């Protein structure tokens, strides 16, 4: 229940205030027309919007489901990124012995994995993927990465090259190298899945159709209510249409979970947690201070 207290009504209805105002004015206009000119043949039976209401409700439920699934899949993929980042570090630190000549190598890979998370998060938001990575990557790594369209993919390639090097140095045995490569493949899958959600828009014709039908339904509503309610039809129409408008807004909101809005998947916060966990494995307890990211996480 905590959540409810934190989010004011204003926030929820702020998203649809212009639409609701428009609906109110429109209904007022219909009501005036009806009462002034006694146009009783403007009245339509409630059964007409009811038939449409059922099919629109089902379609909004369908759309909410798909939008929620996209949002939840995005969250699940980032959950998998957390798991695989931890597993990769655990494997690197336990497979490769802690010797004088490997200590820097091990640290380099773990820090690069942290950089990978930030870079993926930035590039999904359409921002510069290399921003802020200087503290985690060497100059050589940054130079290598800058030749690629996809920075995270380039970092995975560097991982793979280093693992081959470690195999050559006999820091890893043959099974361990292949096992670590599998973890890279899972990270590569996670990256590709995020891109798929980002690049595949919800079928636009569906959203358009639902949008038009819903608005048509709202336009019909006053005609069905003026007979019984007169001027009281206005709050009725506003109430019913607000419900439908809000659900559509929520679906639009959830369906694009990587869109650089304050309420999308909290990729920066997750990346910071990964940084904290992986640095602790390196016995480095100097973690960047966690900004109050969750404060705005109301979605």
CA distances from 12 to 6, 183, 246, 255, 290 (A): 11, 41, 8, 18, 27
Closest C-alpha to 121, from 78, 76, 68, 80: 78
**What phi and psi, each to the nearest 5 degrees, are found at residue 182?**
-65, -40
Which one among 102, 150, 215, 268 touches its own copies, defined by CB under 8 A? Answer: 150
Closest C-alpha to 112, from 62, 58, 151, 78: 151
Confirm or reject binding of residue 146 to its own copies (CB under 8 A): no
Which one among 128, 134, 189, 291 touches its own copies, defined by CB under 8 A? Answer: 189
Look at phi and psi of residue 7 and say left if phi exceeds 0, alpha if psi is from -120 to 50, else beta. beta
Confirm or reject binding of residue 296 to its own copies (CB under 8 A): no
Which one among 178, 260, 261, 291 touches its own copies, defined by CB under 8 A? Answer: 178
The answer to whether 43 and 227 have CB atoms below 8 angstroms apart is yes
Which one among 24, 28, 236, 293 touches its own copies, defined by CB under 8 A? Answer: 236
Residue 127 CB, shortest distance to its own copies, in Å, is 18
Residue 32 CB, shortest distance to its own copies, in Å, is 18
User: Taking CB under 8 A as the criterion, which residues in 59-88 touch its own copies?
Assistant: 59-62, 64-66, 68, 71, 75-76, 78-80, 82-83, 86-87
Helix axes 151-168, 103-124, angle to 10 degrees: 160
Residue 204 CB, shortest distance to its own copies, in Å, is 5
Stretch that binds its own copies, among 111-119, 124-132, 135-143, 185-193 (CB under 8 A): 185-193
Look at phi and psi of residue 260 and say left if phi exceeds 0, alpha if psi is from -120 to 50, else beta. left
Cβ proximity to its own copies, 70 vs 111, nearer residue: 70
Confirm or reject binding of residue 24 to its own copies (CB under 8 A): no
Residue 142 CB, shortest distance to its own copies, in Å, is 16
Cβ proximity to its own copies, 35 vs 94, nearer residue: 94
Closest C-alpha to 199, from 259, 131, 242: 259
Helix axes 174-199, 47-95, angle to 10 degrees: 160
Residue 120 CB, shortest distance to its own copies, in Å, is 14
Residue 131 CB, shortest distance to its own copies, in Å, is 20
Residue 67 CB, shortest distance to its own copies, in Å, is 9
DSSP 1: -
Confirm or reject binding of residue 201 to its own copies (CB under 8 A): yes
Cβ proximity to its own copies, 93 vs 133, nearer residue: 93
Cβ proximity to its own copies, 135 vs 196, nearer residue: 196
User: Taking CB under 8 A as the criterion, which residues in 34-63 touch its own copies?
Assistant: 41, 44-62
Token code pair at residue 226 = 């003026």
CA pair distance 34, 32, nearest whole angstrom: 5
Token code pair at residue 54 = 């059922």
């Amino acid at each position: 229940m905590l959540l409810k207290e934190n989010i004011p009504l204003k926030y929820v209805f702020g998203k649809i205030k212009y639409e609701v105002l428009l609906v109110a004015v429109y209904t007022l206009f219909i009501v005036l027309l009806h009462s002034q000119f006694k146009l009783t043949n403007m009245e339509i039976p409630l059964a007409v919007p009811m038939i449409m209401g059922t099919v629109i409700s089902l379609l909004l439920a369908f759309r909410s489901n798909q939008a929620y699934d996209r949002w939840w899949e995005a969250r699940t993929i980032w959950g998998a990124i957390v798991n695989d980042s931890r597993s990769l570090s655990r494997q690197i630190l336990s497979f490769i012995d802690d010797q004088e000549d490997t200590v820097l190598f091990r640290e380099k890979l773990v820090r690069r994995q942290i950089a990978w998370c930030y870079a993926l998060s930035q590039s999904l938001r359409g921002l510069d993927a290399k921003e802020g990575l200087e503290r985690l990557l060497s100059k050589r790594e940054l130079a290598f990465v800058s030749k690629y369209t996809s920075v995270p993919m380039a970092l995975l390639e560097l991982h793979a090259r280093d693992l081959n090097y470690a195999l050559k140095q006999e820091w890893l045995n043959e099974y361990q190298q292949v096992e670590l490569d599998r973890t890279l493949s899972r990270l590569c899958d996670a990256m590709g899945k995020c891109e798929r959600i980002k690049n595949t828009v919800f079928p636009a014709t569906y959203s358009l159709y639902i949008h038009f039908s819903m608005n048509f339904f709202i336009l019909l509503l006053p005609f069905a209510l003026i007979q019984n309610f007169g001027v009281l039809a206005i709050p009725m129409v506003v109430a019913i249409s607000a419900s439908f408008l809000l659900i559509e807004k929520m679906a639009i909101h959830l369906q694009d979970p990587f869109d650089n809005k304050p309420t999308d998947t909290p990729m920066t916060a997750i990346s910071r947690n990964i940084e904290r966990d992986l640095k602790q494995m390196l016995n480095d307890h100097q973690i960047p201070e966690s900004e109050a990211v969750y404060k705005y996480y109301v979605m």
